[in-house]
Structure 1
Amino acid sequence: MDTADRLIESTRALLWERGYVGTSPKAILERAGAGQGSMYHHFSGKRDLALAAVRRTAQEMRESAEERLSGPGTALERVAAYLLREREVLKGCPVGGLTQDPDLMADPELRAPVDETFAWLRERIAALLSEARQDGALGPVLDPADTAAAVVAVLQGGYVLARAADSAEPFHRAVGGVLDLLGARVTD
Protein backbone atom coordinates (compact mmCIF):
# COMPACT_ATOMS: atom_id res chain seq x y z
CA MET A 1 0.00 0.00 0.00
CA ASP A 2 1.47 3.36 -0.95
CA THR A 3 1.55 6.37 1.35
CA ALA A 4 -1.62 7.97 -0.04
CA ASP A 5 -3.54 4.73 0.46
CA ARG A 6 -2.22 4.34 4.01
CA LEU A 7 -3.32 7.90 4.76
CA ILE A 8 -6.81 7.26 3.35
CA GLU A 9 -7.19 3.95 5.21
CA SER A 10 -6.00 5.52 8.45
CA THR A 11 -8.46 8.37 8.01
CA ARG A 12 -11.30 5.93 7.33
CA ALA A 13 -10.56 4.05 10.54
CA LEU A 14 -10.22 7.21 12.59
CA LEU A 15 -13.41 8.75 11.20
CA TRP A 16 -15.23 5.57 12.24
CA GLU A 17 -13.66 5.53 15.71
CA ARG A 18 -13.51 9.23 16.57
CA GLY A 19 -15.55 11.22 14.07
CA TYR A 20 -14.37 14.13 11.98
CA VAL A 21 -13.52 16.55 14.80
CA GLY A 22 -11.72 13.82 16.78
CA THR A 23 -9.60 12.83 13.80
CA SER A 24 -6.51 14.98 13.96
CA PRO A 25 -3.86 15.15 11.26
CA LYS A 26 -1.35 13.98 13.87
CA ALA A 27 -3.41 10.85 14.61
CA ILE A 28 -3.78 10.15 10.88
CA LEU A 29 -0.03 10.43 10.33
CA GLU A 30 0.77 8.25 13.35
CA ARG A 31 -1.63 5.51 12.28
CA ALA A 32 -0.41 5.64 8.68
CA GLY A 33 3.23 5.65 9.71
CA ALA A 34 3.79 8.69 7.51
CA GLY A 35 5.56 11.97 7.90
CA GLN A 36 3.78 15.32 7.93
CA GLY A 37 5.10 16.29 4.53
CA SER A 38 3.58 13.20 2.92
CA MET A 39 0.05 14.19 3.93
CA TYR A 40 0.39 17.59 2.33
CA HIS A 41 2.16 16.10 -0.68
CA HIS A 42 -0.91 13.97 -1.49
CA PHE A 43 -3.75 16.04 0.01
CA SER A 44 -4.41 19.71 0.65
CA GLY A 45 -5.31 19.02 4.27
CA LYS A 46 -7.51 17.05 6.64
CA ARG A 47 -10.76 17.89 4.84
CA ASP A 48 -9.38 16.76 1.47
CA LEU A 49 -8.13 13.55 3.03
CA ALA A 50 -11.48 12.98 4.79
CA LEU A 51 -13.26 13.46 1.47
CA ALA A 52 -11.05 10.80 -0.13
CA ALA A 53 -11.77 8.47 2.80
CA VAL A 54 -15.54 9.03 2.63
CA ARG A 55 -15.51 8.50 -1.14
CA ARG A 56 -13.58 5.24 -0.77
CA THR A 57 -15.97 3.98 1.90
CA ALA A 58 -18.94 4.84 -0.30
CA GLN A 59 -17.35 3.20 -3.35
CA GLU A 60 -16.63 0.00 -1.43
CA MET A 61 -20.24 -0.15 -0.25
CA ARG A 62 -21.50 0.29 -3.81
CA GLU A 63 -19.17 -2.41 -5.13
CA SER A 64 -20.20 -4.84 -2.40
CA ALA A 65 -23.89 -4.17 -2.99
CA GLU A 66 -23.56 -4.42 -6.76
CA GLU A 67 -21.89 -7.80 -6.46
CA ARG A 68 -25.11 -9.20 -4.95
CA LEU A 69 -27.58 -7.05 -6.86
CA SER A 70 -26.18 -8.08 -10.24
CA GLY A 71 -25.59 -11.72 -9.31
CA PRO A 72 -27.53 -14.76 -10.44
CA GLY A 73 -31.22 -15.30 -9.84
CA THR A 74 -34.46 -13.44 -10.23
CA ALA A 75 -34.73 -9.78 -9.31
CA LEU A 76 -36.22 -10.61 -5.90
CA GLU A 77 -33.56 -13.27 -5.27
CA ARG A 78 -30.87 -10.68 -5.96
CA VAL A 79 -32.46 -8.21 -3.53
CA ALA A 80 -32.62 -11.01 -0.95
CA ALA A 81 -28.97 -11.92 -1.61
CA TYR A 82 -27.99 -8.32 -0.89
CA LEU A 83 -30.07 -8.14 2.29
CA LEU A 84 -28.82 -11.51 3.56
CA ARG A 85 -25.14 -11.04 2.77
CA GLU A 86 -22.61 -11.49 5.56
CA ARG A 87 -22.19 -8.26 7.55
CA GLU A 88 -20.55 -7.10 10.76
CA VAL A 89 -23.94 -6.01 12.05
CA LEU A 90 -22.82 -4.72 15.45
CA LYS A 91 -20.24 -2.45 13.84
CA GLY A 92 -23.00 -0.80 11.83
CA CYS A 93 -23.00 0.36 8.25
CA PRO A 94 -19.76 2.13 7.31
CA VAL A 95 -21.65 4.65 5.18
CA GLY A 96 -24.73 4.95 7.38
CA GLY A 97 -22.51 5.46 10.41
CA LEU A 98 -21.07 8.59 8.81
CA THR A 99 -24.50 10.22 9.09
CA GLN A 100 -24.08 10.21 12.87
CA ASP A 101 -21.17 12.65 12.61
CA PRO A 102 -22.69 16.15 12.75
CA ASP A 103 -19.49 17.85 11.61
CA LEU A 104 -19.17 15.64 8.56
CA MET A 105 -22.87 16.03 7.70
CA ALA A 106 -22.65 19.82 8.07
CA ASP A 107 -20.19 19.97 5.17
CA PRO A 108 -22.08 19.54 1.86
CA GLU A 109 -19.02 18.21 0.02
CA LEU A 110 -18.24 15.60 2.71
CA ARG A 111 -21.91 14.64 2.94
CA ALA A 112 -22.38 14.27 -0.84
CA PRO A 113 -20.80 10.80 -1.26
CA VAL A 114 -22.99 9.48 1.56
CA ASP A 115 -26.16 10.90 0.03
CA GLU A 116 -25.15 9.77 -3.46
CA THR A 117 -24.49 6.23 -2.23
CA PHE A 118 -27.89 5.90 -0.58
CA ALA A 119 -29.57 7.43 -3.65
CA TRP A 120 -27.73 4.91 -5.85
CA LEU A 121 -28.78 2.03 -3.59
CA ARG A 122 -32.44 3.10 -3.59
CA GLU A 123 -32.39 3.46 -7.39
CA ARG A 124 -30.64 0.12 -7.88
CA ILE A 125 -33.11 -1.74 -5.66
CA ALA A 126 -36.04 0.12 -7.26
CA ALA A 127 -34.85 -1.05 -10.68
CA LEU A 128 -34.83 -4.65 -9.47
CA LEU A 129 -38.26 -4.25 -7.90
CA SER A 130 -39.54 -2.80 -11.19
CA GLU A 131 -38.11 -5.83 -12.96
CA ALA A 132 -39.81 -8.13 -10.43
CA ARG A 133 -43.08 -6.29 -10.98
CA GLN A 134 -42.79 -6.65 -14.77
CA ASP A 135 -42.07 -10.37 -14.33
CA GLY A 136 -45.15 -10.72 -12.13
CA ALA A 137 -43.12 -11.60 -9.03
CA LEU A 138 -44.09 -8.39 -7.23
CA GLY A 139 -47.65 -7.21 -7.05
CA PRO A 140 -48.77 -3.99 -8.73
CA VAL A 141 -49.73 -2.38 -5.41
CA LEU A 142 -46.14 -1.71 -4.40
CA ASP A 143 -44.39 1.30 -5.89
CA PRO A 144 -40.81 0.18 -6.65
CA ALA A 145 -39.21 3.49 -5.61
CA ASP A 146 -41.16 3.74 -2.35
CA THR A 147 -40.53 0.09 -1.57
CA ALA A 148 -36.81 0.46 -2.29
CA ALA A 149 -36.69 3.43 0.09
CA ALA A 150 -38.40 1.29 2.74
CA VAL A 151 -35.93 -1.57 2.17
CA VAL A 152 -32.94 0.74 2.63
CA ALA A 153 -34.54 2.38 5.68
CA VAL A 154 -35.20 -0.99 7.30
CA LEU A 155 -31.64 -2.09 6.62
CA GLN A 156 -30.19 1.06 8.19
CA GLY A 157 -32.67 0.93 11.06
CA GLY A 158 -31.76 -2.71 11.61
CA TYR A 159 -28.18 -1.67 12.28
CA VAL A 160 -29.36 0.88 14.84
CA LEU A 161 -31.61 -1.64 16.60
CA ALA A 162 -28.84 -4.24 16.67
CA ARG A 163 -26.33 -1.81 18.14
CA ALA A 164 -28.82 -0.64 20.75
CA ALA A 165 -29.52 -4.24 21.80
CA ASP A 166 -25.88 -5.32 21.43
CA SER A 167 -27.23 -8.22 19.42
CA ALA A 168 -27.51 -8.96 15.71
CA GLU A 169 -30.95 -10.49 16.26
CA PRO A 170 -32.98 -7.25 15.75
CA PHE A 171 -31.15 -6.66 12.45
CA HIS A 172 -31.88 -10.16 11.20
CA ARG A 173 -35.52 -9.88 12.26
CA ALA A 174 -35.87 -6.56 10.40
CA VAL A 175 -34.33 -8.03 7.25
CA GLY A 176 -36.52 -11.13 7.61
CA GLY A 177 -39.58 -8.93 7.95
CA VAL A 178 -38.79 -7.05 4.75
CA LEU A 179 -38.22 -10.31 2.92
CA ASP A 180 -41.52 -11.65 4.27
CA LEU A 181 -43.32 -8.51 3.09
CA LEU A 182 -41.79 -8.78 -0.36
CA GLY A 183 -42.46 -12.50 -0.42
CA ALA A 184 -46.10 -11.97 0.59
CA ARG A 185 -46.51 -9.97 -2.60
CA VAL A 186 -44.93 -12.55 -4.89
CA THR A 187 -47.39 -13.93 -7.44
CA ASP A 188 -47.19 -17.28 -9.21
Structure 2
Amino acid sequence: MYSRHMSTPERLIEATRELLWDRGYVGTSPKAIQQQAGAGQGSMYHHFAGKSDLALAAIRRTAEELRASAEAALGVEGTAYERISSYLLRERDVLRGCPVGRLTMDPDVIAGDELRAPVEETLGWLRGRLAAIVQEGRERGELSTALVPAEIAATIVATVQGGYVLARASGSTAAFDAGMRGLLALLRTNGSN
Protein backbone atom coordinates (compact mmCIF):
# COMPACT_ATOMS: atom_id res chain seq x y z
CA MET A 1 0.00 0.00 0.00
CA TYR A 2 2.81 2.43 0.83
CA SER A 3 6.04 3.12 -1.02
CA ARG A 4 9.02 0.96 -0.17
CA HIS A 5 11.00 4.14 0.15
CA MET A 6 8.78 5.41 2.94
CA SER A 7 10.27 5.13 6.40
CA THR A 8 8.53 3.03 9.03
CA PRO A 9 7.38 6.09 11.01
CA GLU A 10 5.94 7.61 7.81
CA ARG A 11 4.08 4.40 6.97
CA LEU A 12 2.70 4.28 10.52
CA ILE A 13 1.52 7.90 10.36
CA GLU A 14 -0.08 7.43 6.94
CA ALA A 15 -1.80 4.21 8.00
CA THR A 16 -3.12 5.93 11.13
CA ARG A 17 -4.41 8.88 9.11
CA GLU A 18 -6.38 6.58 6.81
CA LEU A 19 -7.76 4.52 9.67
CA LEU A 20 -8.76 7.58 11.70
CA TRP A 21 -10.62 8.96 8.68
CA ASP A 22 -12.43 5.68 8.08
CA ARG A 23 -12.91 4.33 11.61
CA GLY A 24 -12.27 7.11 14.10
CA TYR A 25 -9.96 6.90 17.10
CA VAL A 26 -11.83 4.19 18.99
CA GLY A 27 -12.07 1.98 15.90
CA THR A 28 -8.39 2.32 15.12
CA SER A 29 -6.48 -0.36 16.96
CA PRO A 30 -2.68 -0.60 17.18
CA LYS A 31 -2.92 -3.96 15.43
CA ALA A 32 -4.87 -2.47 12.50
CA ILE A 33 -2.30 0.33 12.22
CA GLN A 34 0.55 -2.16 12.19
CA GLN A 35 -1.13 -4.35 9.58
CA GLN A 36 -1.96 -1.43 7.29
CA ALA A 37 1.55 0.02 7.65
CA GLY A 38 3.30 -3.32 7.26
CA ALA A 39 5.14 -2.70 10.51
CA GLY A 40 5.60 -4.79 13.60
CA GLN A 41 4.59 -3.95 17.15
CA GLY A 42 8.21 -3.35 18.10
CA SER A 43 8.64 -0.84 15.29
CA MET A 44 5.51 1.02 16.26
CA TYR A 45 6.49 1.37 19.90
CA HIS A 46 10.09 2.17 18.99
CA HIS A 47 8.96 5.27 17.09
CA PHE A 48 5.85 6.27 19.07
CA ALA A 49 5.00 6.13 22.77
CA GLY A 50 1.62 4.55 22.02
CA LYS A 51 -1.59 4.87 20.07
CA SER A 52 -2.36 8.41 21.27
CA ASP A 53 1.15 9.63 20.35
CA LEU A 54 0.82 8.15 16.87
CA ALA A 55 -2.73 9.47 16.50
CA LEU A 56 -1.53 12.96 17.44
CA ALA A 57 1.16 12.84 14.74
CA ALA A 58 -1.45 11.64 12.23
CA ILE A 59 -4.01 14.29 13.21
CA ARG A 60 -1.37 17.02 12.96
CA ARG A 61 -0.36 15.83 9.49
CA THR A 62 -3.98 15.72 8.36
CA ALA A 63 -4.58 19.21 9.76
CA GLU A 64 -1.50 20.56 7.94
CA GLU A 65 -2.70 19.08 4.66
CA LEU A 66 -6.19 20.47 5.12
CA ARG A 67 -4.76 23.93 5.76
CA ALA A 68 -2.52 23.68 2.69
CA SER A 69 -5.35 22.59 0.40
CA ALA A 70 -7.69 25.26 1.78
CA GLU A 71 -5.00 27.91 1.36
CA ALA A 72 -4.36 26.80 -2.23
CA ALA A 73 -8.04 27.44 -2.99
CA LEU A 74 -8.39 30.63 -0.92
CA GLY A 75 -5.12 32.10 -2.12
CA VAL A 76 -6.12 32.34 -5.79
CA GLU A 77 -6.28 35.73 -7.49
CA GLY A 78 -9.69 37.31 -7.69
CA THR A 79 -12.47 38.90 -5.74
CA ALA A 80 -13.48 37.74 -2.28
CA TYR A 81 -16.46 35.95 -3.84
CA GLU A 82 -14.22 34.19 -6.38
CA ARG A 83 -11.78 33.10 -3.68
CA ILE A 84 -14.56 31.75 -1.45
CA SER A 85 -16.09 30.05 -4.49
CA SER A 86 -12.73 28.44 -5.26
CA TYR A 87 -12.67 27.02 -1.74
CA LEU A 88 -16.28 25.82 -1.75
CA LEU A 89 -16.10 24.21 -5.18
CA ARG A 90 -12.65 22.62 -4.89
CA GLU A 91 -12.18 18.90 -5.38
CA ARG A 92 -13.07 16.86 -2.29
CA ASP A 93 -13.77 13.27 -1.37
CA VAL A 94 -17.23 14.33 -0.23
CA LEU A 95 -18.62 10.91 0.64
CA ARG A 96 -15.71 10.19 2.99
CA GLY A 97 -16.32 13.44 4.82
CA CYS A 98 -13.79 15.89 6.15
CA PRO A 99 -10.84 14.10 7.76
CA VAL A 100 -10.57 16.86 10.39
CA GLY A 101 -14.27 17.60 10.84
CA ARG A 102 -15.08 13.92 11.37
CA LEU A 103 -12.75 13.89 14.36
CA THR A 104 -15.11 16.28 16.18
CA MET A 105 -17.58 13.41 16.41
CA ASP A 106 -15.04 11.13 18.09
CA PRO A 107 -15.54 11.34 21.88
CA ASP A 108 -11.97 10.25 22.66
CA VAL A 109 -10.50 12.96 20.43
CA ILE A 110 -12.75 15.69 21.81
CA ALA A 111 -12.32 14.60 25.44
CA GLY A 112 -8.53 14.98 25.35
CA ASP A 113 -6.95 18.42 25.07
CA GLU A 114 -3.91 17.09 23.21
CA LEU A 115 -5.78 15.26 20.44
CA ARG A 116 -8.46 17.96 20.16
CA ALA A 117 -5.96 20.84 19.85
CA PRO A 118 -4.97 20.36 16.18
CA VAL A 119 -8.64 19.94 15.23
CA GLU A 120 -9.67 23.09 17.07
CA GLU A 121 -6.66 25.05 15.74
CA THR A 122 -7.35 24.04 12.15
CA LEU A 123 -11.02 24.92 12.22
CA GLY A 124 -10.14 28.18 13.98
CA TRP A 125 -7.51 28.97 11.36
CA LEU A 126 -10.04 28.32 8.59
CA ARG A 127 -12.65 30.59 10.16
CA GLY A 128 -10.02 33.30 10.60
CA ARG A 129 -8.79 33.00 7.02
CA LEU A 130 -12.32 33.16 5.63
CA ALA A 131 -13.21 36.12 7.87
CA ALA A 132 -10.18 38.01 6.56
CA ILE A 133 -11.29 37.39 2.97
CA VAL A 134 -14.83 38.57 3.74
CA GLN A 135 -13.39 41.69 5.38
CA GLU A 136 -11.24 42.35 2.30
CA GLY A 137 -14.33 41.95 0.14
CA ARG A 138 -16.24 44.44 2.27
CA GLU A 139 -13.39 46.97 2.11
CA ARG A 140 -13.10 46.67 -1.69
CA GLY A 141 -16.85 46.98 -2.19
CA GLU A 142 -17.17 43.38 -3.43
CA LEU A 143 -19.35 42.25 -0.54
CA SER A 144 -21.99 44.06 1.47
CA THR A 145 -20.77 45.94 4.51
CA ALA A 146 -23.76 44.42 6.33
CA LEU A 147 -21.95 41.05 6.36
CA VAL A 148 -20.16 40.32 9.62
CA PRO A 149 -16.89 38.59 8.64
CA ALA A 150 -16.66 36.23 11.62
CA GLU A 151 -20.30 35.18 11.25
CA ILE A 152 -19.98 34.58 7.49
CA ALA A 153 -16.79 32.58 8.08
CA ALA A 154 -18.57 30.42 10.65
CA THR A 155 -21.48 29.98 8.22
CA ILE A 156 -19.14 28.84 5.45
CA VAL A 157 -17.39 26.29 7.68
CA ALA A 158 -20.71 25.06 9.06
CA THR A 159 -22.17 24.71 5.56
CA VAL A 160 -19.19 22.70 4.33
CA GLN A 161 -19.22 20.41 7.38
CA GLY A 162 -23.00 20.03 7.24
CA GLY A 163 -22.76 19.34 3.52
CA TYR A 164 -20.50 16.39 4.28
CA VAL A 165 -23.08 15.04 6.74
CA LEU A 166 -25.93 15.37 4.23
CA ALA A 167 -23.89 13.72 1.48
CA ARG A 168 -22.86 10.80 3.68
CA ALA A 169 -26.43 10.34 4.92
CA SER A 170 -27.81 10.20 1.38
CA GLY A 171 -24.87 8.40 -0.20
CA SER A 172 -24.72 11.11 -2.85
CA THR A 173 -22.73 14.29 -3.36
CA ALA A 174 -25.87 16.08 -4.58
CA ALA A 175 -26.77 17.54 -1.17
CA PHE A 176 -23.22 18.80 -0.62
CA ASP A 177 -23.14 20.40 -4.06
CA ALA A 178 -26.56 22.00 -3.48
CA GLY A 179 -25.37 23.45 -0.17
CA MET A 180 -22.30 24.99 -1.79
CA ARG A 181 -24.34 26.48 -4.64
CA GLY A 182 -26.91 27.81 -2.16
CA LEU A 183 -24.28 29.47 -0.02
CA LEU A 184 -22.65 31.05 -3.06
CA ALA A 185 -26.05 32.36 -4.21
CA LEU A 186 -26.55 33.97 -0.80
CA LEU A 187 -23.10 35.56 -0.93
CA ARG A 188 -23.71 36.78 -4.47
CA THR A 189 -26.97 38.47 -3.45
CA ASN A 190 -25.03 40.22 -0.66
CA GLY A 191 -22.41 41.59 -3.04
CA SER A 192 -22.11 45.22 -3.94
CA ASN A 193 -23.59 44.67 -7.42
TM-score, length-normalised on structure 1? 0.97
Q: Distance in 2 between matches of 1:18 and 1:84?
A: 26
What is the letter of the counterpart of residue 90 of structure 1? L
Aligned to 2:129: 124
Instruction: Identify which range, 97-106 or 178-187, moves more after superposition.
Output: 97-106
What is the letter of the counterpart of residue 151 of structure 1? I
CA root-mean-square deviation: 1.0
1:164 matches 2:169: yes
Task: Name the SS for the 1:141 alignment partner.
Answer: coil
Q: 2:113 aligns with which of 105, 108, 119?
A: 108
1:178 matches 2:169: no
| Stretches of structure 1 lacking an aligned partner (at least 5 in a row) | none
Q: Distance in 1 between matches of 2:153 and 2:23?
A: 31
Instruction: Identify which range, 59-68 or 87-96, moves more after superposition.
Output: 87-96
TM-score, length-normalised on structure 2? 0.94
Aligned to 1:66: 71
Q: 2:140 aligns with which of 135, 144, 152?
A: 135
Q: Distance in 2 between matches of 1:6 and 1:156?
A: 28
- How far 1:34 moved relative to its partner? 1.0
Q: How many residues align?
A: 188
Aligned to 2:3: none
Instruction: Identify which range, 16-25 or 60-69, moves more after superposition.
Output: 16-25
- How far 1:18 moved relative to its partner? 2.3
Note the 1:14-163 alignment, pairs <5 A: 14-163=19-168
Q: Which has the higher helix share?
A: 1
The alignment-based identity, stated in percent, is: 62
What is the letter of the counterpart of residue 150 of structure 1? T
* Contact 2:22–2:96 under 8 Å retained in 1: no
| Stretches of structure 2 lacking an aligned partner (at least 5 in a row) | 1-5
